[in-house]
Amino acid sequence: MVGRGASLPVDSSSSCPKHMTYGPCGGVGFDGSCEIDAATRCAFVDIDTVGWRRPPAPTVVQSPSAGSERVRALLGERPLVVADFPARAVDARSLEECVAAMAGPVDAVLSGDAGPARVQFAPSYRARLIADADMLPFIGLNCRDRNRVALEGELAGLAHAGAGVVHCITGDHTHTGSRPDAMPVFDLDATELTALARAAGHLVSVAESPTTPPVDRRAARLREKEKAGAELCFVNHCGGAEPVARFIAQARMLGSTSGFLPCVPVVLDEGSAHLLRTFTTLVLPPGYLESILSAADPREAGIAAAVSLSLAMLQIEGVVGVDLSGGAAPGRETEHAQSLAEIAHRLKEEL
């Protein structure tokens, strides 16, 4: 049994490159190694799950944001179709074109950052642009690039900018991705950021990786994030519907109350497949990539595969939506957005 209130060994947070208190992150190697040093074992994989102890300041809870209320209303009506936002970084025209292609069938877009493009519009500004273009923004906020004061400012801005959900993550280390020259911050980790976001009035989502070590304690880690304020959980790629169902069952046994949104891989061509392969500790259903890329029409095969897997995910008790996950090859962002809309349209017809 995981130690519910286990104390963190003194050297664990100091030996973690991200200075995490509530580790481990989702970047642990399948062998238990640190995401930025394969020769070093993650400081958290061999200790008990660290229990949530206290929220960081401020502790004054704001009224629910308008965006969070809108999402709660949608969740009360039907499953959500969320899609990873494929727009080019710091390109407002690309953002508008992608929203125009997706609006209607897609309920919301998840917009964070990705390894190939660490430099992005500020989260609150990005949320405002997406909302102004008539799309509901789910905004990823990471602890890599901002200290707690800057994060508090972004959270305040996101409430005014119309963010429906704030997706709280610790974030990949700067040694990975396009800007290894940048200084990492990691003043907080995802669990601590969750408490700040909840206090700021946001509906908070977090991520968990069921196939990433320590596999037997990933559900317990989600439970501690819930105690900090998380209400939604994006389930990272873990091999299909059956592994997602097992993870949710494990979480429920520990008292989890989250709504779950499993990630559904979207592969339409070799470019989107290449981007998906860059995801940390990616586990796809057996033969998923190969069957799409070898098809006579990979785009059609990829759309059909995403619809089929989404329908299987939505049959799982506790699943409140799906995330069409992945990204576009450079220069094909709008085309990818159109395909995401097609997946969402077919999925809703089936539902």
pLDDT attached to residue 1: 31
**Distance from C-alpha of 319 to C-alpha of 329, rounded to nearest angstrom:** 29
Pairing of strands 136-142, 165-169: parallel
Of the CA atoms within 13 Å of residue 230, those in its CB half-sphere come to: 26
**Distance from C-alpha of 243 to C-alpha of 175, rounded to nearest angstrom:** 30
pLDDT attached to residue 55: 62
Mean pLDDT of the chain: 93
**Distance from C-alpha of 168 to C-alpha of 62, rounded to nearest angstrom:** 18
Name the residue ranges covered by the structural domains of the chain: 10-52+67-350
Please tell me which residue, 55 or 17, carries the higher pLDDT value. Answer: 17
Count of other CB atoms within 10 angstroms of residue 330 = 11
**Distance from C-alpha of 52 to C-alpha of 228, rounded to nearest angstrom:** 7
Band the pLDDT of 276: cuts 50, 70, 90: very high
Torsion of CA 211, 117, 145, 197, to 10 degrees: -60
Question: For residue range 259-274, what is the model confidence (pLDDT) as tens digits?
Answer: 999 999 999 999 999 9
Specify the fold of 10-52+67-350: TIM Barrel (3.20.20)
Looking at residues 3-23, what average pLDDT do you find? 65
Count of other CB atoms within 10 angstroms of residue 109 = 28
Please tell me which residue, 61 or 217, carries the higher pLDDT value. Answer: 217
pLDDT attached to residue 114: 79
Q: What is the pTM of this model?
A: 0.94
**Distance from C-alpha of 316 to C-alpha of 53, rounded to nearest angstrom:** 32
**Distance from C-alpha of 220 to C-alpha of 205, rounded to nearest angstrom:** 16
Pairing of strands 37-41, 33-34: antiparallel
pLDDT attached to residue 11: 43
Kindly state the tokens that stand for 199. Answer: 């206090």
Question: For residue range 317-348, what is the model confidence (pLDDT) as tens digits?
Answer: 999 999 999 999 999 999 999 999 999 999 99
Band the pLDDT of 57: cuts 50, 70, 90: low
Question: For residue range 108-137, what is the model confidence (pLDDT) as tens digits?
Answer: 999 998 778 889 999 999 999 999 999 999
- Is the pLDDT at 164 greater than 90? The verdict is yes
- Please state the three-class secondary structure of the chain as a single string: CCCCCECCCHHHHHHCCCCCCCCCCCCCCCCCEECCEEEEECCCCCCCCECCCCCCCCCCCCCCCHHHHHHHHHHCCCCEEEEECCCCCCCHHHHHHHHHHHECCECEEEECCECCECCCCCHHHHHHHHHHCCCEEEEEEECCCCCHHHHHHHHHHHHHHCCCEEEEECCCCCCCCCCCCCCCCCCCCHHHHHHHHHHCCCCEEEEECCCCCCHHHHHHHHHHHHHHCCCEEEECCECCHHHHHHHHHHHHHCCCCCEEEEEEECCCCHHHHHHHHCCCCCECCCCHHHHHHCCCCHHHHHHHHHHHHHHHHHCCCCECEEEEECCCCCCCHHHHHHHHHHHHHHHHHHC
CB 309 within 8 A of CB 264: yes
CB 235 within 8 A of CB 247: yes
pLDDT attached to residue 14: 65
